[in-house]
Homo-oligomer: A and B are copies of this chain.
């Protein structure tokens, strides 16, 4: 995803308005490596702008995704995850706490044993399911519903 100031230019050039809600979400998403869900981002945004609506968060996430500024990940955790890192990379997901982290693989996909019967591949997604170090260390810190905890406001984006 491009920087908030670059997005400012892009949005203006498309006749779109620069609302405080959008500006906040731009800042919260830029450089965010937590792969937040819409709800997680909503909680985070609410701390900075009480009253912002979940609907607006969804709206903005969808806008950014359809503009190609965000990648939408469907990892089967119940809710979609959004990723401002739109470069080629893959993910690990902890089956216990839901944390998603980036993984960069060497080389390309292996060759196919069978031909794909005319199927044309647009993109390949590799998802490594497993358990993160923190969850393996202690059960006490890893509750079943701490999926929201993995959204940590990274200092770089702080006001």
Contact = CB atoms under 8 A, between A and B. Distances in A.
Contacts of A103: 112, 114, 116
Copies in the complex: 2
Interface string A67-111: 000000111110010000000000010110000010111111111
A119 B126 contact: no
Nearest to A126: B126
Contact of A105 (B112, B120, B136): B112
A122 interface: yes
Contact of A119 (B104, B107, B130): B130
Given A124-B126, A125-B126, A126-B126, A131 B119 contact: yes
A121 B112 contact: no
A14 B112 CA distance: 40
A106 B110 contact: yes
Contacts of A121: 92, 128-130
Contacts of A76: 73-76, 80
B125 A129 contact: yes
6 contacts: A76-B76, A109-B126, A119-B128, A122-B130, A125-B126, A125-B127
Nearest to A108: B110
